[in-house]
């Protein structure tokens, strides 16, 4: 008898993530000063599963909790309530502005990022030339990352994540940075990577084209909650209609 049991790569159960918004206040008349803090609920009890090899998109307007959810899955943010289970899979997050030490060179950051992903120094060395070549940075790879433009930063981040392949890839709106040629190159590379039936991918994007073409399912987040989850075309159609009325 054939075993049709699904293999789950990611389980999210009742995930809540809160931010503290701290503001300074001053009472000049009494000479007192201090801080007020309010709690902002970025993610409000979302639950979903992602099967091994599945490509899932996340859409939603700004402030809906998309990137916060991705960073929580990557382990950058801690859950205030709920559970995230990666079922023993290795994971990488591709997001502009996350992961590099700006004082270090691009070359040094390749090794740092790779080791944070769980690769050994020798494993990174084996892929080093390929990463540098794909990034198109040339000699700039030996300069501090703080001197990079957003496009250069994006190229290096994408090259590291694309060449040092993990079981789960989290991609946060990275196709919109860089020159036209590199955008096409990275898009094609991503299609190649996610064609692997064993690789699980979550993509946060504002691009309907990306969500429709690359994803098996789409999760629509709104105000920190799941508004809809289902087939890509269906959910994106509903999301676009909603945004057109906003």
Q: Specify whether the CB–CB gap between 143 and 135 falls below 8 A.
A: no
- With a cut of 80, say whether residue 94 has pLDDT above it: no
The whole-model pTM stands at 0.81
Q: Which one, of 221, 245, 244, 219, lies nearest residue 234 by Cα?
A: 219
pLDDT attached to residue 1: 40
Q: What's the pLDDT tens digit per position in 14-73?
A: 999 998 765 555 555 555 555 556 778 999 999 999 999 999 999 999 999 999 999 999
Q: Which one, of 225, 216, 213, 220, lies nearest residue 236 by Cα?
A: 220
- With a cut of 90, say whether residue 100 has pLDDT above it: no
pLDDT attached to residue 29: 53
Model confidence band, residue 227 (pLDDT cutoffs 50, 70, 90):
very high
Q: Which SS3 state, helix, strand or coil, does residue 221 take?
A: strand
Average pLDDT, the chain: 87
Q: Specify whether the CB–CB gap between 26 and 33 falls below 8 A.
A: yes
Residue 52: phi and psi, rounded to 5, are: -60, 130
What are the angstrom distances between the C-alpha of 4 and each of 1, 7, 68, 117? 9, 9, 33, 31
């Amino acid at each position: 008898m054939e075993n049709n049991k699904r293999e789950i790569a990611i389980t999210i159960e009742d995930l809540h993530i809160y931010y503290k918004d701290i503001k300074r206040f001053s009472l000049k008349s009494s000479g007192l000063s201090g801080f007020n803090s309010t709690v902002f609920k970025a993610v409000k009890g979302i639950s979903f599963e992602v099967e091994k090899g599945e490509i899932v998109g996340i859409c939603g307007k700004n402030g809906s909790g998309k990137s916060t959810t991705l960073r929580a899955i990557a382990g950058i943010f801690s859950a205030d309530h709920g559970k995230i289970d990666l079922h023993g899979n290795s994971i990488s997050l591709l997001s502009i502005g996350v992961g590099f030490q700006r004082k270090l060179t691009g070359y040094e950051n390749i090794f740092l990022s790779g080791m944070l992903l769980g690769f050994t120094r020798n494993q990174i060395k084996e892929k080093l030339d390929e990463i540098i070549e794909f990034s198109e940075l040339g000699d700039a790879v030996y300069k501090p990352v703080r001197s990079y433009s957003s496009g250069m930063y994006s190229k290096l981040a994408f090259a590291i994540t694309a060449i040092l392949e993990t079981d789960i890839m989290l991609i946060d709106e990275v196709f919109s940075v860089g020159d036209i040629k590199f955008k096409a190159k990275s898009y094609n590379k991503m299609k190649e990577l996610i064609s692997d039936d064993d690789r699980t991918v979550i993509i946060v994007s504002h691009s309907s084209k990306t969500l429709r073409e690359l994803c098996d399912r789409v999760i629509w987040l709104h105000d920190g909650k799941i508004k809809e989850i289902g087939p890509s075309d269906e959910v994106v159609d509903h999301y676009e209609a909603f945004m057109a009325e906003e």
